[in-house]
Structure 1
Amino acid sequence: MDKTQDGLLRRPLYLFDLPPEILSSLALKPDAGLVEDAPTESTPSGAQSLGPASPENILGSQACSLCGMAFVTVQEQKEHLKTDLHYYNLKQKLNGLKPVSEAEFEKLVEENDVSISGSDTSDNEEEEDEPSRKETTLSALLKKQASLADKRNPGDADKDGEPKAKRRGTGKPPLLWFSSPKLPDRTYFGIYRAMFTAGELDKEDAIVEAIKQRQLPPISMPKAAKDGMAVPPAYDGRHIFLCMIGGGHFAAMVVCLAPKQSKHGSIGPLNREAVVLAHKTFHRYTTRRKQGGSQSANDNAKGAAHSAGSSLRRYNEQALVEDVRELLQDWKALIDTSDLLFIRATGSTNRRTLFGPYDDQVLRPNDARIRGFPFSTRRATQNELMRSFIELTRLKVREIQPEAAPLPTDEASKPAKPKADSKPAPPKLTEEEEAALFHTTQIQAMIRRSKLPALLSYLTTNSLSPNFLFQPADSQQNHHAPTALHLAASQNSAPLVTGLLTRAKADPTTLSSEGKTPFDLAGDRATRDAFRVARAELGETTWDWDAARVPAPLKREEAEQRAERERKAADREEEQRRRAEEERLRVEGPRVDDTGNSNRKKKAVNLLSGGAPKTAEERRVEEARGLTAEQRVRLERERRARAAEERIKRLQGGG
């Protein structure tokens, strides 16, 4: 790569401000997908299909195989993993159902009138209720689907069991790719299809010419007012309108397409500083927290509620409608002269807010300028609108791998060698392997939380053997503890060991990859006694206990009596220690030197002798080691009593 190419890849390029050397050499990629068949449904996402219908195969791991989407940047991929679509498809997979595309998911949300909005990372937004609200909203959507599936006529499904109305269309990719001799081999520029009109997309020759006509000289304009309202009634230059509404949040912005005059010469900042003609955000409390959906949707489904919160949400919904429509009326001159209108309004309530019908309506649903955002968006904020504007106008630079040709049938011929830096794709797991991984995660979680009844029920419900081997077997955890009994013993969980041996009939002779039995992993006497008690109760003929390395059988009564003796002995030792300490305090008092600093000489002696002094927390942990929970509580109570006595004596001595 020469210096010219390297400079082009590092410099941000924008659709309305391209360098002359790029503009003169730009050409549409031959297989850019411009003349594909009409899609069966629109795709309002920046992701591309990963299936056979995709016009190109993009290098790298910026893809989600579950949702069938590829992404332009790593940041987009990370954001997708946090979206409701990804969470929904995860639940679909767990239920044995097919994942849905983003267009299908949007239709499901609209039909159920469920308000699902993403989160924004800005500091001025409260995010406490987001995870729980997302979970309950998705659960509500799944329950709604389940009830509809029960009522659906079996004839409405095709032979694959999928509803006929929900068949996934291939659609057109959201990005058009352009080649240039200024770029390295197999590297292309990407521009969003939504930035062009339908007439320009009809002819391949008109695309490059349309890009040349979009070049605008830099302008110098003052910044908009802080409240975003003091704007001119009209603007002669080219500009676009962006708007998002959902979950009680509304944000709108009018941005000039011409770049702002830079004072730093030809090299500008990473993201171009845009000229914002107007901007405004609203937020009203309209969403039922931790329940999902708007108040109007709940009223339509269950009838009007009469709580104070519901009344406040109804008032806020109406107030939001009035605020938004008033703002659109104030901006009517700017909206009418905008080149494009990018709008995100999910749900019938939000669409009625923008498109009415109502008197003096500004936005019309049949306006040819209206576009959806062709990528994933988050909560409606001013920062999100600016990020979306930059994403729409900035050119993408990607290396595109051509489709691999079929290998020759002649075995003597050598296939083409892959690139040295390319990594082989991981092997696709079978259904049995995926199920084994899922069962491993569930069983290990229940063992770590000591959920014995849930563990036994899970094994029975899923018809799993108590000696089920965890997967993958080569992982460090599963190499050390390959079965439930191994893991329970290593966790020193005596009740789980007893339940797995006596109730689930787990095999104690199973060896790990290290050649260890479950008994070898037990770390305390209680867990080891659980194996010996199970040997006594199950009998010598059930298992080869010698091969399991379990010592002689022990009756449950004997184990309980020994545990009781040890507990009483520990209590006596603690009582003697406490009395000795109280006697010392009564005779000697607190150990304080002339300067009033306690134990300073002792600490100095420890330091000189090479041993670091222990902190108060370390001493407390050492004293409580080996004690039961009841003994720890008693020790802490006595420690506080001694501290109180010491404070009283100091006060009496000072008085």
Structure 2
Amino acid sequence: MDQKPEDLLRRPLYVYDLPDQVLSTLTLKRDATSDAQNTVEETTKSTSQAQEAPSSGLPTVVGPQSCSLCALSFATVQEQRGHLKSDLHHYNLKQKLRGRTPVSEAEFEKLIANLDESLSGSDSPDSDEEEDEDDKESSVLTTLLKKQATLADKRNSSNTGDNQDDDEDGHSRKKQKGGGAQPLLWFSSPLLPQNNYFGIYRAIFGLEESKDESNIAEVIKKKQLEPVPAPKLSPDGTPSPAAYKGPHIFLCMIGGGHFAAMVVSLAPRQTKQGSVGPLNREATVLAHKTFHRYTTRRKQGGSQSANDNAKGNAHSAGSSIRRYNEQALTDEVRLLLQDWKGLLDTSDLLFIRATGSTNRRTLFGPYEGQVLRANDPRIRSFPFSTRRATQNELMRSFIELTRLKVHEIDPSQEAKPQDEPAAKAPSSKPAKPATPKLTEEEETALLHTSQLQAFIRRSKLPALLSYLKSNDVPADFLFQPADSQQNHHAPTPLHLAANQNAAPLVLGLLVKAGADPTLRNKEGKTAFELAGYRATRDAFRVARSELGEAGAARWDWDAARVPPAITRDEAEKRDERERKESDRKEAERRRAEEQRLKSEGPRVPDGKGRGKSLLDGGVSKSAQERREEEARGLTPEQRLKLDRERRARAAEARFGRMQQGG
């Protein structure tokens, strides 16, 4: 039975188990621009995080927990603080100082991806072998900047005229006419909205299959696999031998002392609701293994073997440990590959990421009995950015490789050069209209909003007043965007200060900054009406008094709902009177309580664990009941005071008994 298009697209589509409606309507789109490819590649970086958050290149992002320089926002303050220490942020700061354009997170990953050795740490944050985060990031950034500086010197001093070009990541390459094959093949389908297309990675096809693109839709149909039941596990937790006979692929990453490998079955699992593409918990992992060894040089970057080759063998204890660990990691990896030889020989494809020459030698040798060979036609690189070698990263990469992409390609953008950014951002769901680009004025307004709100929430009056003056921002600045829930309720600094019950900020904004108390929010309330405490309301009345005639001529205080003015002294005296009255009432309550306790007289045990008063007519009450009766009707503060008094009296009684006994 045919399903509605929106039902089909509601869940991820697995390349090896596509619905018949999708298979029968796929048509190769030959004129897809490289803009779509580049945009999709950037979004694969975001999927390596714990959540799949949409990425949008490098727009301006502002807010109390964001970085406008790097165009990133954060869920917590801790994440924001961590980003400010990161290589990406430091690199973009240096780019800005040099008058260059900051790079996105995906672009920065590309810059450091081809450094000689990965400097990433262990996946476990509490690993004993984990290097200091700041030192590690400094090593990566220093290595990248040194390479770029060296390349800049070479370009400035060399006039050889060779037809070569240098990448920003420090690698020289010959100039090519035109770009190579794009990583994604795009297909149109009437099931998709207008200008939307399906994308499938070219890497999952064999060399012969990808040569004839005109027949690629038929190749996809032949790759469809029948769902199979979940394999039964043997006592040691591994799948039964029958599971190894089906089609499967091998994925492997090695770099920076980290190694992760996995063999995953391509056949979809059979479920009661029908077959579903293998997602994280549904893919059948036939084998997996991870290793980690301390091999990278702390604070300096690079592997020990790379340093030895460049400067000769070091003779420190750390260098000896790193040399041993490099050899141990090599032996472990090669032994694992030998154990998995049967699985590797029968794998349809081999996806491998090996960073640096040392790691490539570990996998491809040459060595006696080697399993992997660099010229194997099944070998593929990952056609998107990847992160540290872990089992989770391998599974994320498998899902990324085998899931159909849905992307909107704007026809008006297809005529643009390939080096221009795409106007639309891809999405794993049917594409939505892209957010319009902000103007310079809108970006500035968002920046002012984030800064002012941060000062107010932290009650930083001097910093708030200084920011308003130095940036020529009016005290009645309207927060942006105006349609957000927070800005709907508190649209100006004075509204927000009153809502936060920050009395000093209210007084400073009115008296020193000249804020308008008559402005109303979208609910029709003035700032005074948002004040929840009397101290905040008194700040408005004190400001009305201190502004005097000038304020009366400028503002309609009655329209602002502010009561008659009072001076600071009057407000302070009233507060003092109320404190004294409160203390007097508390003293009276304490005396009455002491008198009541005395009038109850002594208590004697009644044989049931309770005290029996000689004056209460034989009515027996437990100590807990007496405490509850004493505390009845008291405020929480009064109950705390009463409890402290009880403990003090008990301590005095114990002290008196000790003196009598002494």
Partner of 2:56: 65
Does the 8 Å contact 2:27/2:217 carry over to 1? yes
Tell me by how many angstroms 1:142 deviates: 7.5
Q: State yes or no: 1:642 paired with 2:646.
A: yes
Which ranges of structure 2 fall in alignment gaps of 5 or more residues? 47-51, 60-72, 157-164, 170-177, 415-429, 604-609, 612-618, 654-662
Matching residue within 323, 326, 330 for 2:335: 326
RMSD: 6.4
**Partner SS, residue 250 of structure 1:** strand
Look up the equivalent residue of 1:31 and give its one-letter code: R
1:251 paired to 2:260: yes
Please list the CA deviations of residues 194-225 of structure 1 after superposition, one character each: whole Å capped at 9, or x if unmatched. Answer: 11244433332453464466567899988578
Match of 2:185 among 148, 155, 176: 176
Q: How does 1:188-337 map to 2 (within 5 A)?
A: 190-208=199-217, 210-211=219-220, 214=223, 226=236, 239-245=248-254, 249-257=258-266, 268=275, 271=278, 276-283=285-292, 319-332=328-341, 334-335=343-344
Conserved? CA contact 2:43–2:54, under 8 Å: no
| Partner residue in 2 for 1:29 | 28
Query: Which whole-Å deviations, capped at 9, do the CAs of 1:262-281 have from their partners, x for residues lacking one?
Result: 7x899546539766553223
Please give the residue correspondences for 1:38-437 in structure 2 after superposition, counting only pairs within 5 Å.
64-66=55-57, 97-100=101-104, 102=106, 104-108=108-112, 110-111=114-115, 115=119, 165=167, 174-178=183-187, 190-208=199-217, 210-211=219-220, 214=223, 226=236, 239-245=248-254, 249-257=258-266, 268=275, 271=278, 276-283=285-292, 319-332=328-341, 334-335=343-344, 338-345=347-354, 348=356, 351=359, 354-355=362-363, 359-360=367-368, 363=372, 368-374=377-383, 380-382=389-391, 385-386=394-395, 388-389=397-398, 391-393=400-402, 396=404, 403=411, 427-437=436-446
Does the C-alpha gap of structure 1 residues 308 and 588 become closer, same or farther in structure 2, counting only changes over 3 Å?
A: farther
Matches of 2:644 and 2:314, distance apart in 1: 53
| 1:485 positional shift | 2.4
SS of 1:544's equivalent in the other structure is: helix
TM-score, normalised on structure 1?
0.62
Equivalent residue for 2:463, pick from 450, 454, 457 = 454
Which amino acid is 2:112 matched to? L
- How many angstroms apart in 1 are the aligned matches of 2:122 and 2:412? 38
Residues 310 and 595 of structure 1, relative CA distance in 2, 3 Å threshold: farther
Contact 1:134 1:292 in 2 (8 A): no
Cα distance change, pair 344–11 in 1 and its aligned pair in 2 (3 A)? same
Structure 2 CA distance, aligned partners of 1:623 and 1:484? 34
Contact (CA 8 Å) 1:447, 1:484: kept in 2 or not? yes
Q: Deviations over 1:496-526 (max 9, x none)?
A: 2333345x42334452246655445444343
Instruction: Tell me the equivalent position of 2:504.
Output: 495
Deviation at 1:341, TM superposition (A): 1.7
Select 1:572's aligned residue among 571, 580, 584. Answer: 584
Deviation at 1:43, TM superposition (A): 8.1
SS in 2 for 1:29: strand
Please tell me whether the aligned partners of residues 227 and 280 of structure 1 are also in contact (alpha carbons under 8 angstroms): no
Q: Which amino acid aligns with 1:107?
A: L
User: How many angstroms apart in 2 are the aligned matches of 1:41 and 1:363?
Assistant: 31
Q: CA deviation at 1:342?
A: 1.2
How many residues of Structure 1 are paired with residues of Structure 2 in the alignment? 565
SS in 1 for 2:553: coil
Alpha carbons 1:231, 1:278 under 8 Å: kept: no
Q: Distance in 2 between matches of 1:283 and 1:500?
A: 57
| C-alpha contact (below 8 Å) 1:116/1:247 kept by paired residues | yes
- Check 1:307–1:218 CA distance in 2 against 1; reply closer, same or farther (3 A cut): same
**Residue 486 of structure 1, aligned match among 495, 500, 509:** 495
Q: What's 2:476 paired with?
A: 467
Aligned-partner Cα distance in 2 for 1:338–1:467: 67
Q: From the superposition, tell whether residues 551 and 139 of structure 1 become closer, same or farther in structure 2 (CA, over 3 Å).
A: farther
Task: Note the alpha carbon deviations across 1:352-377, whole angstroms, 9 max, x for none.
Answer: 68558675565566655432334576
Aligned-partner residue type, residue 439 of structure 1: H
> 2: distance between equivalents of 1:240 and 1:574?
78
Distance across 1 between alignment mates of 2:237 and 2:113: 33
Mapped to 2, the partners of 1:212 and 1:552 lie a distance apart of 81
| Partners of 2:113 and 2:193 in 1: CA distance | 43
Rate the CA distance shift 1:128–1:594 in 2: closer, same or farther, 3 A: farther
Q: Does residue 524 in structure 1 map to residue 536 in structure 2?
A: no
Shift of the 597–293 alpha-carbon distance from structure 1 to 2, 3 Å rule, reads farther
Q: Which amino acid aligns with 2:111?
A: K
Query: What letter is aligned with 1:108?
Result: I
Gaps of at least 5 residues in structure 1 are 50-60, 69-79, 120-124, 158-162, 407-420, 604-613, 625-631, 650-655
